[in-house]
Amino acid sequence: MSEWWTYHLSDFLLFSARTYYRLFEIYNAAIWPAQVAAVVLGIWIARLALSPRETRRGGRLAAAILAACWTWVAIAFHSRRYSTINWAAVYFAWAFALEAALLLWFGVVRARLEVERPSRFARRAGLAIFFFALVVLPFVSPLLGRGWKGVEIFGVAPDPTAVATLGILTASGCWRRGSLMFLPAIWCAVSGFTLLAMKSPVSWIPPLVAAIAIVVSAAQARGRRKRERTPSDVSGLPVS
């Protein structure tokens, strides 16, 4: 694209805010009662995340559920619904399908969603992000006047699914967290720009939450590398 610097954010918006919000209303009506199943799956992930035992098995199960949700959003939302008003949604569908494949490979096959206990702060921050996506995020836009028919629910809508995934990854000690966090974070940025172009008052939420998840995860990874570099004596205690 030549003269790209002359384009405004709104130049990339192909539809009106009203059409975008109506899209969720029609989508919700078409997939009902899948939303109930999605919320049940979200509660199941929460139960697994809060459980102090069987972290490896729980991590596998959580990854499998998240992969199923990303696959659903790729097909049912992006490919079948969003693509009717945005030709770029076809690429979004592929990105969501790729994230599902990554979750299956690293989280289920390699079982690396819970290979190391994260720091208490990272775990709490990650769980807070997950519960925010599951419980709070769906209510933000309706409470600001968008209407309840278009509520965006974890597991079937892209924003809460991406934010919840970032939360679970932050709360886990996953070795491949960076690979798994990349696409959800990118989606949060895309969604934020889309909402900003539509002058939505909540456009800042997905990018901000993604930024928090990345910063916390990066801090945790840095702490782990630091610990690994610190020489230990035979007793395992750090040498001062």
Partner 1 sequence: MAFPSFGFRFFEPPPMRDTDTLSRRAFLASVAATGAAAVLRPSAALARPAEPASRPGALLTRAIPSTGEKLPLVGLGSWITFNVGDDPAGRDSCAGVLRAFFQAGGRLIDSSPMYGSSQEVIGYGLRKIGNPSQLFSSDKVWISSGARGPEQIEASRRHWGVPRFDLIEVHNVTAWEEHLPTLLAMKAAGKLRYVGVTTSEGRRHDEVEKIMRSQPIDFVQVSYNALDRDVEARILPLARERRIGVICNRPFRRGELIQRIGNAPLPGWAREIDCSTWAQVLLKFIVSHPAVVCAIPATTRVDHVRENVGASAGRMPDDAMRRRIAAHVESL
Task: State the minimum distance, in angstroms, from the CB of residue 87 to partner 1.
Answer: 7
Smallest Cα–Cα separation from 62: which of 103, 109, 122? 103
Residue closer to partner 1 (CB basis): 22 or 110: 22
If one counts every other C-beta atom within 10 angstroms of the C-beta of residue 223, the result is: 14
Angstrom distance (rounded) from CA 195 to CA 202: 7
Which one of 91, 94, 121, 148 is in contact with partner 1 (CB under 8 A)?
A: 148
Residue closer to partner 1 (CB basis): 33 or 52: 33
Q: Which residues of 38-63 are buried (b: 16+ CB within 10 A; e: fewer)?
A: bbebbeebbebbeeeeebeebbbbbb
Residues 12-31 that bind partner 1 (CB under 8 A): 13-19, 21-23, 25-26, 28-29
Q: Three-class SS of residue 238? A: strand
Residue closer to partner 1 (CB basis): 142 or 178: 142
Which one of 110, 124, 149, 224 is in contact with partner 1 (CB under 8 A)?
A: 149
Task: State the minimum distance, in angstroms, from the CB of residue 114 to partner 1.
Answer: 36
Smallest Cα–Cα separation from 213: which of 155, 183, 171? 171
Smallest Cα–Cα separation from 206: which of 187, 233, 225, 219? 187
> On the CB side of 89, how many CA atoms lie within 13 Å of its CA?
22
Residue closer to partner 1 (CB basis): 27 or 106: 27
Ramachandran class of 199: left when φ > 0, alpha when ψ lies in -120 to 50, beta otherwise: left
Task: State the minimum distance, in angstroms, from the CB of residue 155 to partner 1.
Answer: 15
Which one of 57, 147, 201, 208 is in contact with partner 1 (CB under 8 A)?
A: 147
Smallest Cα–Cα separation from 194: which of 9, 19, 26? 9
Please give the size of the binding site for partner 1, defined by CB under 8 A: 32
Q: Mask 52-91, x = binds partner 1 (CB under 8 A)?
A: -----------------------------x--xxxx----
Q: Does position 200 bind partner 1 by CB under 8 A?
A: no
Task: State the minimum distance, in angstroms, from the CB of residue 91 to partner 1.
Answer: 14
Task: State the minimum distance, in angstroms, from the CB of residue 198 to partner 1.
Answer: 11
If one counts every other C-beta atom within 10 angstroms of the C-beta of residue 5, the result is: 5
Residues that bind partner 1 (CB under 8 A): 2-3, 6, 10-11, 13-19, 21-23, 25-26, 28-29, 32-33, 81, 84-87, 142, 145-149
